[in-house]
Amino acid sequence: MGSQRLPAALDVQCESVRQFLKGFNSGATKEQYAKKLSQFLEMSRMGPDALLEEAVQNPRAVQGLIIDYVESQRDRVSGSTIGLSVSALKHFFAMNDAEDAISWKKITKIMPRVRKTGSDRAPTIEEIRQMMEAADTRTKCIILMCSSSGIRVGAFDGMVWGDVTPMPAQDGGGVRAARLFVYRGSVEEYVTFVTPECYDMLLKYMAMREEIGEQVTAESPLIRDSWDSHPYRKDARKDPRAASPLASKTISNMMGRFLKKANMRGAKRAGSAMHEFKQIHGFRKYFKTNAERTMKTIDVEKLMGHAENYYKPSEEYLLGQYAAAVPNLTISEEEELRRTVRSHAEASDKKVGEIERENEDLHERIARLESSYASVREILENVLISKTGGR
């Protein structure tokens, strides 16, 4: 399981457990399911193989055990937590070819309703700027990646440098964005983008790693563990050139500690178990909210990895749409000021152009008037000469 930890009560030597641990795309989900299965086994005082055998020989008894477990948890935990426990059990039986032994429809009927609050918000750009001021380079990369692409924290698992590709600007200057492969090689694989601002920060992070001797290649972890080059400190016992990938759970916990240290994790909202914005998922909401200021919702959903079987836009099309949204996804205040100056300059140039065109029109009118005056004067002079006989 890599960096994921199995509960001590879950015997990985059991064949049923080995089968249960298969079929997960996310290490975090695997760890959660393992924890819930372990809790149920402790409550039932049965081992995993014994539970499986009982489900085959006496399915109604196991079904009743699950129902009793659900009922016992009603007043202790949320409906979503109970749902996770049932999903873990269903996965356990399914991976051991015993899913049909249990009437899951009956269990579903007694499940408590999941309260969907959805009241957490996205962080504001001012709050993200405050984070950026307090963050180190690695944390800045995480913040910018999440806020400019909307990826889930689980996407960091297995992500390598080869998953990031700069897309050159059409005029040959700089990059329009950087393409990001998410969940590469899995059934959930999709492509999204990060802003030039984010890509520049990733390059800065790469340069820092190369300075301490790491050979950064396409297969190197995109976000790695921290290092300490000082020989007198404990952490320096590990060779800083040997990079280990940073797991998504570690990143999530790290961001929680960072927000507290940056004084951005005060008391939770009154009457709620949640903070105003979630430590990682809040950036996903920020991306969706700001990308939709210029992009169609269906295109934003595509870049967030939401499947749509009948909508297959080209990558070039999505890049063009994303590039138009880059100003709304750029966090740097300096870049915002630069855009403001550029906008004012364009407005001034437009005004100057209008004045110049007005001057040109005025010169043309004066020239026409002068030409008309000369013609009239010539006519009058001719008339005068004809009447006076030239005298």
Residue 21 structural domain? 15-109
Query: Are 283 and 316 in the same domain?
Result: yes
Query: Are 39 and 132 in the same domain?
Result: no
Query: Are 191 and 283 in the same domain?
Result: yes
Is 8 among the domain residues?
no
Is 211 among the domain residues?
yes
Beta bridge partners of 361: none
Q: In the chain, count of helices (H) and strands (E)?
A: 14, 3
SS (H, E, C) 206-232: HHHHHHCCCCCCCCCECCECCCCCCCC
Phi, psi for 89 (deg, rounded to 5): -65, -40
Query: Are 144 and 268 in the same domain?
Result: yes
Q: Which amino acid is at 188?
A: E
Is 103 among the domain residues?
yes
Angle between helices 125-134 and 248-261 (to 10 degrees): 90
Domain count, the chain: 3
Beta bridge partners of 164: 180
Question: What is the pTM (predicted TM-score) of this model?
Answer: 0.64
Count of Cβ atoms closer than 10 Å to residue 25 Cβ: 14
Query: Are 82 and 158 in the same domain?
Result: no
Which residue, 45, 76, 109, sits at the end of a domain?
109
How many whole angstroms separate alpha carbon 174 and alpha carbon 49?
59
Which residue, 48, 83, 109, sits at the end of a domain?
109
Is 342 among the domain residues?
no
Query: Are 162 and 231 in the same domain?
Result: yes
Angle between helices 196-211 and 137-149 (to 10 degrees): 150
Query: Are 23 and 85 in the same domain?
Result: yes
Task: Give the H or E element holding residue 145.
Answer: helix 137-149
Query: Are 268 and 217 in the same domain?
Result: yes
Both tokens of 303, joined, read: 């870049």
Query: Are 159 and 292 in the same domain?
Result: yes
Query: Do the beta carbons of residue 120 and residue 274 sit within 8 Å?
Result: yes
How many whole angstroms separate alpha carbon 334 and alpha carbon 247?
32
Query: Are 166 and 33 in the same domain?
Result: no
How many whole angstroms separate alpha carbon 320 and alpha carbon 307?
20
SS3 304: coil
**Mean per-residue pLDDT pooled into runs of 10, the chain (391 residues):** 54 78 74 86 86 88 89 80 87 87 84 64 91 95 96 93 93 87 88 97 96 95 84 63 91 91 68 67 93 95 85 94 95 70 62 78 82 78 70 59
DSSP string, 218-275: TTSBSSB------TTSGGGGS-TTS--BPPHHHHHHHHHHHHHHTT---SPPTT-SS-
Is 120 among the domain residues?
no
> CATH number of the domain that 226 lies in?
1.10.443.10
Query: Which pLDDT score is estimated for 134?
Result: 94
Is 4 among the domain residues?
no
Query: Are 141 and 232 in the same domain?
Result: yes
Is 391 among the domain residues?
yes
Query: Which pLDDT score is estimated for 3?
Result: 45
Is 384 among the domain residues?
yes
Query: Are 104 and 131 in the same domain?
Result: no
